Amino acid sequence: MTIHKEGYTIIATATVICGAIVFGLSKVLCTDGAWFWIAIAPVVVFFYLVVQFFRLPSRSNRSAANELVAPCDGKVVVIEETEEPEYFKGKRIQVSIFMSPLNVHANWVPCEGEVKFAKYHKGLFLVAWHPKSSTDNERTTIVIQHPNGKEVLFRQIAGAVARRIVYYVKPGQQVSRNEQFGFIKFGSRVDIFLPLGSDVVAQLGDVTKGNETVIARW
């Protein structure tokens, strides 16, 4: 387990702030007394939550070539046939994974292939499960073409807490399994759009692990 590079600055800032608060409390409260430890408990919890949010577990993708894995940790909240208006402009199967602030927030590519499309959109910060968050929130859209010619679209969507989406890929780039394509800071959601006829093995309510859980086959 390591710390994601996106967390270095935030963790350093949190260290300074929390350290200053603890130092200040030590000057007004007896460090041997119960009130001091009660007062610093929320500070310690806050610092722990910040650090654990940016944790980066070591994971290895061993799925078959025709399997697509979850791009993130979270819970499957949507599986439906829908219209994808930005890139495909047609019907696709949508699988949405909601990420709580307690989940690992690194994002992995769901399959190997070539990045055909990558675009960032400014937007609102509706709660991530809101029906319009997929089209109205801050988001990115990325499309990968698998060596078999099929394309998968996945969309990072900011939530009410998230205020920063980071992505690392660009059109023309070759990506492979076990590779991260981005990170979403704090609560968020990822939508995946699959070709019609894909065998979706994920079910509503499933808990996913990014780069490990198989969500579909094609």
Residue type for 202, please? A
- Through-space distance between the first and last CA atoms of the chain, rounded to whole angstroms: 32
Question: Cβ(210)–Cβ(204) under 8 Å?
Answer: no
pLDDT, mean of residues 130-154: 82
Tokens of 146: 């698998």
Give the pLDDT confidence of 81-121 residue by residue, as tens digits.
Answer: 999 999 999 999 999 999 888 888 899 999 999 999 999 98
**Residue 136 pLDDT:** 65
Angle, helices 8-28/34-53, rounded to nearest 10 degrees: 180
- Quote the CA–CA distance of 122 and 1 in Å, as a whole number: 32
Tokens of 116: 């055909």
**Residue 58 pLDDT:** 86
pLDDT class of 122 with cuts at 50, 70, 90:
confident
CA atoms within 13 A on the CB side of 194: 26
List the catalytic residue out of 96, 133, 134, 188: 188
Residue found under tokens 């819970």? 75
Give the pLDDT confidence of 47-83 residue by residue, as tens digits.
Answer: 998 898 888 888 888 888 889 999 999 999 999 999 9
Per-residue exposure over 76-86, b if at least 16 CB sit within 10 Å of its own CB, e if not: bbbbeeeebeb
**Residue 94 pLDDT:** 97
Give the three-state DSSP class for 73: coil
**Residue 72 pLDDT:** 93
Question: Is beta strand 90-99 parallel, antiparallel or unpaired with respect to 74-84?
Answer: antiparallel
- Quote the CA–CA distance of 206 and 200 in Å, as a whole number: 12
Catalytic status, residue 26: no
Give the pLDDT confidence of 196-211 residue by residue, as tens digits.
Answer: 999 999 999 999 999 9
Give the single-character DSSP code of 75.
E
